Amino acid sequence: MHSYTEENYLKTLFNLANEKGEVSPNELSKRLAIKMPTVNSMMKKLAEKKLVHYESYKPLRLTEKGKREAALVIRKHRLTEMFLVQKMGFGWEQVHEIAEQIEHLHSPYFFEKMDEMIGYPTIDPHGSPIPDKTGKIDGVHYEKLSDCKIGDTVKLAAVIHSTDEFLKFLNSRELHLGLKIKIKVVEKFDGSMVVAYNKNNAESLSHMVSERLLVEKL
């Protein structure tokens, strides 16, 4: 088994790789808020354990084993988030912090039971895919709302880079997963959009917002 700390490095490497492709020590350092030399020596340690491919001055890459281990931590995180929302009544903006801690528990029964209670979901409350028990994870193919065109009608499928603040903002606009959205206007100069959904007939969304919303074309 890996330490709490190692699990956090693995998970973060995995997430960064999914967001940006290649991962540099510098990015990892920033994301973890841990200084570079520390990250550096941890990478050597994880390389020893065959979890990371590490070569000086080259981007970091998880090995297959590293990916699997990371995915299993992420699985626990996302199952937990789903449980907290569905069975305990938390809002989607509240669950990340709690899941961040619970993901490190070592208790197969506990996660097994949560999974069962919430009906073996494949996505979490923010629309991110939940890896299966072997660490396999769906490659998702949604597109950013910001990449859609006037006239498109789309379904809100996932939210990325979702901080508390951002999720609370979405709550206040009644923007939740599954929602049907129609694009009415796209402003050239700032990329903002005017969209229609629910009873709101002309809600304006900044580019900052629309690029964090993943949608499925209908």
Partner DNA sequence: ATAATAACTTAGATGAATCTAACAAATATA
Partner DNA sequence: TATATTTGTTAGATTCATCTAAGTTATTAT
Cβ(131)–Cβ(74) below 8 Å: yes
> Exactly one of 105, 150, 185, 218 binds its own copies (CB under 8 A); which one?
105
Site map (CB under 8 A) of its own copies, residues 65-104, x = contact: -------------------x--xxxx---x--xx--xx--
Pairwise CA distance, residues 213 & 218, whole Å: 15
- The one-character DSSP state at 123 is B
Cβ(154)–Cβ(215) below 8 Å: yes
Does 123 interact with its own copies (rule: CB under 8 A)? Answer: no
- The one-character DSSP state at 140 is P
Does 117 interact with its own copies (rule: CB under 8 A)? Answer: yes
CA 157 to mean position of chain CA atoms:
12
Binding to DNA in span 57-86, by CB under 7 A = 57, 59
Q: How many CB atoms lie within 10 A of CB 47?
A: 16
Site map (CB under 7 A) of DNA, residues 36-55, x = contact: xxx-xxxxxx---------x
Encoded tokens for 24: 């540099």
Does 205 interact with its own copies (rule: CB under 8 A)? Answer: no
Chain positions contacting its own copies, by CB under 8 A: 84, 87-90, 94, 97-98, 101-102, 105-107, 109-110, 113-114, 117
